Amino acid sequence: MIIIGAMAISCSDNTTKKIATWPGVTPPVAEKKVYERTIHGDTVVDNYYWMNDYFKKGPDSAEVIAYLEAENNYTAAMMKDTEKLQEKLFNEMKGRIKEKDESVPYFKNGYYYYRRTEEGKQYYKFCRKKGSLDAPEEILLDVDDMAEGYAYYAAGGFSVSPDNKLLSFGVDTISRREYTIYVKNLETGALLMDKIDRTTGNAIWGNDNKTLFYTAKNPATLLSEKIRRYTLGLGTTGDVAVYEEKDNTNYIGVGKSKNGKHIMIYSGGTLSSEVYILDADQPNGTFKVFQPRTKEVLYSVTALADKFLILTNDGAKNFKVMECPLDKTTKEHWKEFIPHRDDVLVSDIDEFKDYIVISERKNGLTQMAIRSLRDGTQHYLNFGEAAYTVYPSTNVEYDTDMVRYGYTSLVTPSSTYDYNMNTKERTLKKQQEVVGGYDAENYITERLSAIAADGTQIPISLVYKKGFSKNGKSPLLLYGYGSYGMSMDPVFNSSRLSLLDRGFAYAIAHIRGGEEMGRQWYDDGKMMNKKNTFTDFIDCAKYLISGKLTSSEHLYAQGGSAGGLLMGTVINMAPELWNGVIAQVPFVDVVNTMLDETIPLTTNEYDEWGNPNDKAAYEYMKSYSPYENIEAKEYPNLLVTTGLHDSQVQYFEPAKWVAKLREVKKDDQVVLFKTDMEYGHGGASGRFDYLKDVALNYAFLFKLEGIKE
């Protein structure tokens, strides 16, 4: 029984919950313009297809902006009573960040490199010192100054030439992940005249100190299609393609072996990959294929002094490691180096002169193995928490016994360690400082396991503050992703303390489609198995409710990008489970996007979602695509966010979704939609500005829970 006047609701579990008070503001109503899509004999009417028009600069482009601005005004009006709370949350979260800080220096080719931040500044200085940390500081890039006057500014791909005299770097000022590469003379401080547009931002130096290899982007689709070689000082005559990818389902990139001897081109998709290799001392030479691509075989290459190691899934679901001579790289010369194991996923190899560090996953947790190349002995690093994340950190030196790794958990701030692989001694170099004080003993993390409908156990990582009541009356935010084989490992986030300290629990559902439990975990959550991702998340929610960790009146969900697809699907499949949902840059118009090859990334995604030009794939993705499956029923409260310049998930997907939801749904729950008119997929570029979005998200949750402070 709902009693609006008293602002309380009698819930099924006999809890009493406050109802958020929303202003009586009328939401925007998007115009409907009939557009028909017909494929495989199936005709679908899309009344909001016209919203795709902004970047096409068609007749509706001005109307698109007007609609997005109207939605922004509506969201601002509906959340106006939380403005002071949002400001408080922003200052609270910003106050935990150490403003004047410095990264742990790493040593490369005679110099220590590091970044440092200054009080009140959004960005950082990229610096180095020669030979010793006591040497004078050299500021290579002052990104704080470089970013002046830009609403968005991303600098990356920093690469110093082998002679230490030149620095290449990429800059994106639009937020569409399309970078311009510049080169700076570190002796004079001047930028060279050389400038390379429309790249991924990373450049690799040949050993002649004048040749750069980079990945070029197609300006229309933003796909990476060519590797080019650029010779400094020659302009366009010195800019030539050395590799062109013909398979538009593959991503490509270029890198350099840690020992500095090889330039490597990598081409890979979901199902197959290929590597090309070149002597770094001969940058004008011809790349040679390492091993021709084979259907449904992935491989990557690590260069040692006397051989290559190959990480591959050829006959090995969870990957194995092979070896081959430096001059005989094709498959017939491969020999087993580390065998396949059914219960261990090998995810990466980090090479050193006398050791390799093997990144693995077992029982849903990350682990690191240290293997001696001198005698073949191996040992693991040990950790004492139920749910944690460990990973190799910045390791750029080849001839060293030290490996640097990062460690964190839901209660342990990010920590950087140096580990001596010979003596087995570890040294804590730095732990993230939480300004104002933080005591991990005040928080509890657990590892839980839900049972999916098909009997599969789904891990859940959980954190809450001591005093959290497991009586079904406490609020809980459940986060999920479940795509691309990306594992959502438990990590510390100081901003999350503002949620936990106000009585929320936070949980991560390690659903299929990620790779937490091995490669099969990924395969079981993609293509024609994609619905497992959604039902896993729903089953995790039901498990948390059945265990009295929360109830549907206090349960919230959050996900972004492909995790936004998850949000859109689960509210179609089980809307009754959630009181509120936050969908960030959500991929919710699956069929239309996958049918449009002019949209960035579409063809790269065929092996993830399927190609809708195939009838079976079309029918399957149409059966779960959030936009296609909105029904005339009740939905939970929604906060949807996007960026106008998003190149990964275009702004029009959530815009269309919100418009159709408002048209069709049968309830009085709110749907709020906010478009950042200056940013893209990753949000704000400054180290503080993104907290405004976090503050809005938290204020939305707190408003639904009746939390005002």
Tokens in use for 472? 């079904």
Place of tokens 């590892």: 447
Who contacts 211 (Cβ-Cβ below 8 Å, separation ≥6)? Answer: 205, 229, 230, 231, 232, 283, 284
How many angstroms separate the Cα of 12 from the Cα of each of 16, 19, 26, 544?
10, 15, 31, 16
Could you give the CA distance from residue 695 to residue 87 in angstroms, rounded to a whole number? 8
Please say whether the dihedral angle defined by the alpha carbons of residues 144, 146, 152 and 155, taken in this order, is positive or negative.
negative
Place of tokens 């106006």: 80
Residues classed as catalytic: 561, 646, 681
Who contacts 24 (Cβ-Cβ below 8 Å, separation ≥6)? Answer: none
Beta bridge partners of 265: 254, 276
Could you give the CA distance from residue 334 to residue 351 in angstroms, rounded to a whole number? 18
Helix-strand-coil split of the chain, %, nearest 5: 20, 35, 45
2: left (phi over 0), alpha (psi -120 to 50) or beta: beta
Q: Does residue 363 contact residue 377 with C-beta atoms inside 8 Å?
A: no
Distance of CA 616 to the CA centre of its chain: 29
Tokens in use for 381? 């690093």
The CA angle 191-193-196, to the nearest 5 degrees, is 100
- DSSP string spanning 53-103? GTTTT-TTHHHHHHHHHHHHHHHHHHTGGGHHHHHHHHHHHHTTB-SSEEP
Could you give the CA distance from residue 427 to residue 417 in angstroms, rounded to a whole number? 5
Q: Residue 164: what residue type?
A: N
Who contacts 414 (Cβ-Cβ below 8 Å, separation ≥6)? Answer: 406, 407, 408, 431, 432, 491, 492
Q: Could you count the other beta carbons within 10 Å of the beta carbon of residue 59? A: 9
Please say whether the dihedral angle defined by the alpha carbons of residues 92, 94, 97 and 98, taken in this order, is positive or negative.
negative
Max intra-chain CA distance, the chain: 80
Could you give the CA distance from residue 16 to residue 477 in angstroms, rounded to a whole number? 19
Q: Residue 135: what residue type?
A: A
Q: Does residue 300 contact residue 310 with C-beta atoms inside 8 Å?
A: yes
Please say whether the dihedral angle defined by the alpha carbons of residues 382, 387, 388 and 389, taken in this order, is positive or negative.
positive
Tokens in use for 292? 């021709």
Tokens in use for 272? 């197959």
Closest CA to 228 of 249, 207, 197: 197
Alpha helix ranges (H) inside 406-530: 497-500, 519-523
Question: HEC profile for 663-708?
Answer: HHCCCCCCEEEEEECCCECCECCCCCCHHHHHHHHHHHHHHHHCCC
Tokens in use for 692? 């405004």
Q: Residue 85: what residue type?
A: L
